[in-house]
Amino acid sequence: MTLDNEAEGSVQEAVADPQIATSASPADLEGRGWTARSVECTPKVRALEALAGLPSPEPLASVAYVSKGNALVIGGDERAVAAAVRLSASIPVTLLLTSRPSAQAAALAGADLGSADFPIWGGKVASLKGYLGNFSVTLTDLAQVRDSRGHGLPGAAGAVFDLVVDFSEPPLFGHHQPPQGYWRVSDEASLQAALADAPEAVGEFEKPRFFAYRENLCAHSRSAIEGCNKCIDVCSTEAISADGDHVKVDPHLCMGCGACASVCPSGAMSFQFPRVADRGAQLKSLLAAYREAGGRDACILFHNGTDGRDLLARSAAGGRGLPARVIPLECWHVASVGIDLLLGAVALGANQVAVISAGSEAPEYAHSLGGQVALAQSIVSGLGYAGRHFAFIESGDADAAVDALESLAPASVPAAAATFALSNDKRTAVEFAVEHLAKNAPSPVAQIALPAGAPYGEVVVDQAKCTLCLSCAGACPESALMDGTEAPVLRFLERNCVQCGLCERTCPEDAITLRPRLLLTPAVREARVLNEAQPFHCISCGKPFGTKQMVDVMLGRLAGHSMFADPAALERLQMCADCRVVDMMSNKNETSVLKL
């Protein structure tokens, strides 16, 4: 059994609506790319046929769930009791009555149970975590209300269940996308959904492992100093959490939105359903077929397979449909669309790219998508291409969505499409796309200023403050900052910088600032010196150690300290480690623990 989109079949239902039905079948409308029959769209049809002819992507690893159907119903009123009675006819049920004095709970438990046989407790939920087949519940104030033949009670601290039906207010899972196996009951529709779906959630299930993670590229943290938290902040399922210098993802909680990959500055997190390289192959194929069939000014429209698909179906069935030049491309989730796909699509021959959110997306995703679209547009506009190339459309109304698409006038793009294949490595994919766009730019420039938070830019060092301690180089997760090996030198390779801010937060002298920009000259691939200093030589043996500036700063700060009132103590600070030890051991007046 496989977990899939909940809205399967909703397109047929939308088209079957007597208020919008036409003679066109759903399959016919979909084959025309949701364009009305009255509109000529042969190039788009050819593009979609080419897309359908591509081989299937390589299979992904799967994530397994095992559920025996043991359900916990949580609530404090008659609705919870009635739901527990209904569910107990098909799956094992335990009822937790909350916010009820024991006498009232006992009276409630004795009402309308009929022949139903399941345990009932009174108590509160201190915490609930987990997913289908593995919900861990921590309980407090437990009191047995009704025992049941053949059912055991949990320990005083907690229990494990396969399913949870929650009548609580506020809900125990408050984030936008709760885990599989959890139903939040807030009204009659959600109650009926829980009663229908919970008995079916018994058995073995699997879903794709939607993400891949390379911790060696992760810029989350170094030495307990936080850098990038973008994937943690955007995840609506709370599947991502900090794990030392890196992050960890619970694959059972991940629902495949892909937002973590779209906001990741380094490409450490990548979306796999489909992989970017597979999506690039789709774009190349359909755009080539569209051009060969005489199509012009193609606009790629990314939409999801649930309410986004329904919106397009309603529009087409209602007689209006998408413009002939708008080619729909369905996603598991639109939040997975990042600048690698946006810029890559235009480089591969698209005139524009639009992303539509019909309302089911979490607020975090609207923010992240808007940021990706704005970043991509700032790059293309900075290269001198006129017009609007990227659009993020938020609308659950079919007519309003089509209005927004029709308002997009064709933009200026390169005359020839790129021939490269999109890479699964995010920054490589962006680099190739930008190179193609820059090569054909109407107004070639050396650099493009980017908004704050952009994943490209330079590190600026205040040489008057920098002591070349090189702590920034040690903290840099991408090897953008490097030392000089045999000399006190700080070097910088801009191509590698993801603007995570770890260097800025690590610097003890507050000598570093970040400057977002996209450098387009060959210098972006060349390491350059940010600061260098005269080495300081040991006053005893002459061996170089540290920098003159660092030693001068140290002497200036410690000169007034009581431990360094003796000139000999200050001189020792100007010695290398070996000579310092020799001097301390040979000085008979030196205080030592050996003399205590």
Residue 141 has a CB neighbour count (10 Å cut-off) of 12
pLDDT, position 484: 81
Percent of the chain with pLDDT over 90: 74
What number is the average pLDDT over the span 240-264? Answer: 97
pLDDT, position 580: 87
* pLDDT of 17 above 50: no
Q: Please, what is the angle between helix 339-347 and helix 426-439, to 10°?
A: 40
pLDDT, position 100: 61
- Confidence bin at 25 (pLDDT 50/70/90): confident
* pLDDT of 74 above 70: yes
Domains of the chain listed by start with CATH number: 14-57+276-439 (no CATH), 65-205 (3.50.50.60), 209-271 (3.30.70.20), 457-532 (3.30.70.3270), 535-595 (no CATH)
Q: Pick the range with the lowest mean pLDDT from 3-7, 383-387, 505-509.
A: 3-7
- DSSP 3-state of 121: strand
* pLDDT of 101 above 80: no
Segments of 255-313 assigned E as strands: 269-271, 299-304
* pLDDT of 443 above 60: yes
* CA distance readout (Å), 245 to 209, 220, 495: 23, 6, 22
Rounded CA separation 137/126 (Å): 8
What number is the average pLDDT over the span 502-506? Answer: 97
pLDDT, position 590: 57
Rounded CA separation 153/413 (Å): 67
Backbone angles phi, psi at 531, to 5 degrees: -165, 145
- DSSP 3-state of 200: helix
More confident residue, 503 or 99: 503
pLDDT, position 192: 98
More confident residue, 437 or 468: 437
Task: Give me the chain's average pLDDT, please.
Answer: 90
Token code pair at residue 364: 């975090």
* pLDDT of 150 above 50: no
- DSSP 3-state of 96: strand
Place of tokens 């006498």: 103
- DSSP 3-state of 46: helix
Task: Give the dihedral sign, CA 129/131/137/143.
Answer: positive
More confident residue, 17 or 262: 262
User: Residue 199 gets which letter from DSSP?
Assistant: G
- Confidence bin at 335 (pLDDT 50/70/90): very high
Q: pLDDT digit string (tens) for 416-435?
A: 999 999 999 999 999 999 99
User: Residue 534 gets which letter from DSSP?
Assistant: P
What number is the average pLDDT over the span 88-114? Answer: 72
What number is the average pLDDT over the span 571-583? Answer: 87
pLDDT, position 557: 79
Q: pLDDT digit string (tens) for 521-569?
A: 999 999 999 999 878 878 889 888 777 777 877 788 787 787 787 788 8
What number is the average pLDDT over the span 100-104? Answer: 54
Q: pLDDT digit string (tens) for 38-54?
A: 999 999 999 999 999 99
pLDDT, position 253: 97
Rounded CA separation 163/183 (Å): 8
- Confidence bin at 9 (pLDDT 50/70/90): very low
CA 304 to chain centroid: 17
Based on its alpha-carbon atoms, the radius of gyration of the chain, rounded to whole angstroms, reads 31
More confident residue, 282 or 174: 282
Task: Give one DSSP letter per residue of 304-346, joined into a string.
Answer: ETTHHHHHHHHHHHTT-B--TTEEEEEES-GGG--HHHHHHHH
Residue type, 94: T
* CA distance readout (Å), 100 to 73, 109, 146, 148, 280: 15, 11, 14, 20, 57
